[in-house]
Structure 1
Amino acid sequence: MDVNMNVSGKLSALQVMRDAPVIPVIVLNDVKQAVLLARALVAGGIRMLEVTLRTPQALACIEAIARDVPDAVVGAGTVRSAADAQACAMAGARFVVSPGYTHAVGQACRDAGLALLPGVATGSEIMMAQEDGLSELKFFPALQAGGTAMLKAWSGPFGDVKFCPTGGVSMANAAEFLALPNVVCVGGSWLTPAEAVARGDWAQVTALAQQACLLVRKDI
């Protein structure tokens, strides 16, 4: 983990990716759980937190973490429109993760000063993102779209692109992805199991975060 990174200034996507081997994909249904979950992850060494916009409470959760957990760097996931990006910035998000890429989302993130990690699954999508100056991308859905074999194939024509595979990535296969030279980190939901969050088992979340930080990756 890049413990020397200044988290108070504007972030780049590469800084978000380099901070730890795993970016947790977080789904929250209760604002009351947001701060406690964030603190548990930070205690385990994970501070780049992707709160997905999959629930009505997501923006309120982002706002609560941004306000009450200064050691965390909260971002928003499942961002699909310029309006989503703008709302996330207003809530205090510092970075955005999207399942795909559009020029409108890219422009909204630039306007708001948000680091963007957009999802791609094809060569054409990579090229479109690169046309807008983006070379740090989320490979999504990673397992379903070809997994490590696809990333190896892309290393030739897209040798200047760095990826965060997400979708089907788990503790069981994370090391295989992280061993690839074009992978900086992975994204996954296994750090915040729904059952552990529901019962408030923050010690388990911290333990999973600590385990994730032990994963070995290329020094990119």
Structure 2
Amino acid sequence: MPADCANALSMMQDTEALLAVLRRAPVVPVLIVDNVDYAVPLAKALVAGGLPALEVTMRTPVALDVIKAMASVEGAFVGAGTVLDPEMADAAKAAGATYMVSPGATPTLLAHALKIGMPLLPGVATASEAMMARECGYRIMKFFPAGPAGGPTYLKALSSPLAELTFCPTGGVSAANARDYLSLPNVVCVGGSWVAPDDAMRSGDWARIEALAAEAVKLAV
């Protein structure tokens, strides 16, 4: 077991708490927001449409401010995405994120999330990566990039040998193929950006985003 993980193993991922958030809807919107003014109306539209678990990616200079603003929206469970290291994890927690998502996983990040008591959905793309995260105390993971990594066929193949693990596939997931993932026994939800198109945000078409969220809710199987 990696040394960093061994130091934090007694503090295993709070599986039930994370599942409680992810089970609220079949889709977690993956959001790249470059204008803080979009934050509150965007979160309100997604929550009103039935998607309360939100992932704000840390890919823009205003991401932390967006997380802070969205955290004030009633019914929203705001997570920070694209968390790459302990410093980003600390900043996300301070901004009010209730959980974190990473594209991959290092022993240092896995251990730090456990240390600070911040639920983390670590990214994995192979059985070996999933087993490493499991050794660090994790049971729920992000399968990323889902499409290039093998899609539903690969993820289904993991359901028997890694039966205790649950996944949220993200990357290449769309309204057209979401049900292929959601029908798998080891999938709790999917992550996708199609519910919040950039052009809808820039034009302030929050009604369109709410309608897309409502359609996404119907993908539940």
Fold equivalence (TM over 0.5): yes
| Equivalent position amino acid for 2:68 in 1 | E
The 1:112/1:70 distance shift into structure 2, 3 A limit, reads: farther
2:18 to 13, 18, 22: 13
- Does residue 77 of the first structure (1) align with residue 106 of the second (2)? no
AA aligned to 1:56 is P
* Structure 2 unaligned blocks of 5 or more: 1-14
Worse overlay, 135-144 or 149-158: 149-158
Give the distance between the partners of 1:104 and 1:12, measured in 2 at CA: 22
Aligned to 1:192: 196
- Partner letter of residue 132 of structure 2? M
- What letter is aligned with 2:205? D
CA displacement 1:36-57 (0-9 Å, x = unmatched): 1001101111111100001011
Query: Unpaired runs of 5+ in structure 1?
Result: 1-9
Residue 180 of structure 2 corresponds to which residue in structure 1?
A: 176
Instruction: Identify the match of residue 35 of structure 2 among 30, 33, 36.
Output: 30
Q: Do 1:24 and 1:187's aligned partners in 2 also have CA atoms closer than 8 Å?
A: yes
Equivalent residue, structure 1, for 2:164: 160
Paired residue for 2:47? 42
**2:77 maps to amino acid:** V
Q: Which residue of 2 aligns with 1:58?
A: 63
What is the CA-CA distance between 1:113 and the residue it aligns to? 2.3
Against the structure 1 CA distance between its residues 11 and 40, is the aligned structure 2 distance closer, same or farther, given a 3 Å change threshold? farther
Number of residue pairs the alignment of both structures matches: 207
Give 1:104 deviation, angstroms. Answer: 1.8
Counterpart residue number, 1:114: 118
Matching residue's letter, 2:82: T
Moved over 4 A (4+): none
